[in-house]
Chain A
Amino acid sequence: AAAALCPCRLLFARCGGALRPLCGSVRGLAAGQDTHFGFQTVTEAERREKIYQVFENVAKKYDVMNDSMSLGIHRVWKDILMHKMNPSPGTLLLDVAGGTGDIAFRFLNYVRSVRERQLQQKLKHHQSLSWQEISESYKEDKSESPGDSQVVVCDINKEMLKVGKQKAQHLGYSKGLSWVLGNAEELPFDDDMFDVYTIAFGIRNVTRIDLALQEAYRVLKPGGRFLCLEFSHVSNPVLSRLYDLYSFQVIPVLGEVIAGDWKSYQYLVESIRRFPPQEEFKAMIEDAGFLKVDYQNLNFGIVAIHSGFKL
Chain B
Amino acid sequence: AAVRCQLCPPQRALQASAALRRVSDEQKKEPLASSSQQQQPFDSHPTDHQPEQDPQGPRPSYTGQGGQESEDYESEEQLQHRILTAALEFVPEHGWTAEAIAEGAKTLGLSVAAAGMFHGDGSELILHFVSECNTKLSQLLEEEQKLVQLGKAEKKPTDQFLRDAVEARLRMLIPYIEKWPQALSILLLPHNIPASLNLLTSMIDDIWQYAGDQSTDFNWYTRRAVLTGIYNTTELVMLQDSSPDFEETWRFLENRVADAMNMGSAADQVQSTGEAVVQGLMGMAVTVSN
Binding site for B on A (CB under 8 A): 33-36, 41, 44, 84-88, 90-91, 192, 195-196, 208-210, 214, 217, 220-225, 274, 276, 284, 286-289, 291-292, 307, 309-311
B116–A86 touching, CB < 8 Å: yes
Chain B 11-30 interface 0/1 with A at a Cβ cutoff of 8 Å (1 = within): 11101011110000000000
Q: Can you give 12 contacting A-B residue pairs, CB < 8 Å?
A: A33-B6, A85-B116, A86-B98, A88-B99, A195-B113, A220-B111, A222-B111, A224-B114, A276-B1, A287-B12, A289-B13, A311-B79
Partner of A309, one of B11, B13, B99, B114: B114
Please, how many angstroms separate the alpha-carbon atoms of A276 and B13 in the complex?
Answer: 20
User: Shortest beta-carbon distance, B93 to chain A, in Å?
Assistant: 10
B3–A36 touching, CB < 8 Å: yes
A310–B18 touching, CB < 8 Å: yes
Please, how many angstroms separate the alpha-carbon atoms of A284 and B76 in the complex?
Answer: 19
Chain A to chain B: the 7 pairs with minimum beta-carbon distance, closest first: A223-B110, A223-B114, A222-B18, A223-B111, A225-B113, A221-B111, A222-B19
Q: Which chain A residues border B116 with CB–CB below 8 Å?
A: 84-86, 225, 307, 309
B111–A88 touching, CB < 8 Å: no
User: Shortest beta-carbon distance, B7 to chain A, in Å?
Assistant: 6
Within 8 A of A (CB), among B156-191: none
B133 touches A (CB below 8 Å): no
Please, how many angstroms separate the alpha-carbon atoms of A210 and B12 in the complex?
Answer: 11
B239 touches A (CB below 8 Å): no
B117 touches A (CB below 8 Å): yes
Q: Which chain A residues border B290 with CB–CB below 8 Å?
A: none
Q: How many A-B residue pairs have CB under 8 A?
A: 97
User: Shortest beta-carbon distance, A191 to chain B, in Å?
Assistant: 10
B65–A286 touching, CB < 8 Å: yes
User: Shortest beta-carbon distance, A72 to chain B, in Å?
Assistant: 26
Interface SS, A side: mixed
Please judge, given known A-B contacts A86-B98, A225-B113, whether A208 and B7 are in contact too, CB under 8 Å.
yes
Partner of B117, one of A44, A208, A288, A292: A292
Q: Which chain A residues border B8 with CB–CB below 8 Å?
A: 208-210, 284
Please, how many angstroms separate the alpha-carbon atoms of A174 and B19 in the complex?
Answer: 34
Please judge, given known A-B contacts A221-B111, A223-B105, A223-B113, whether A311 and B6 are in contact too, CB under 8 Å.
no
> Given contacts A223-B113, A309-B116, could you give 13 more A-B pairs where the C-beta distance is less than 8 Å?
A34-B3, A88-B99, A88-B102, A88-B112, A88-B115, A192-B18, A221-B110, A222-B18, A223-B110, A224-B111, A274-B4, A276-B4, A311-B76
Q: Which of A91, A195, A208, A274 has most chain B Cβ within 10 Å?
A: A195
User: Shortest beta-carbon distance, A207 to chain B, in Å?
Assistant: 8
Please, how many angstroms separate the alpha-carbon atoms of A297 and B33 in the complex?
Answer: 51
Q: Which chain B residues border A223 with CB–CB below 8 Å?
A: 18-19, 105, 108-114
B10 touches A (CB below 8 Å): yes
Partner of B10, one of A36, A214, A287, A309: A287
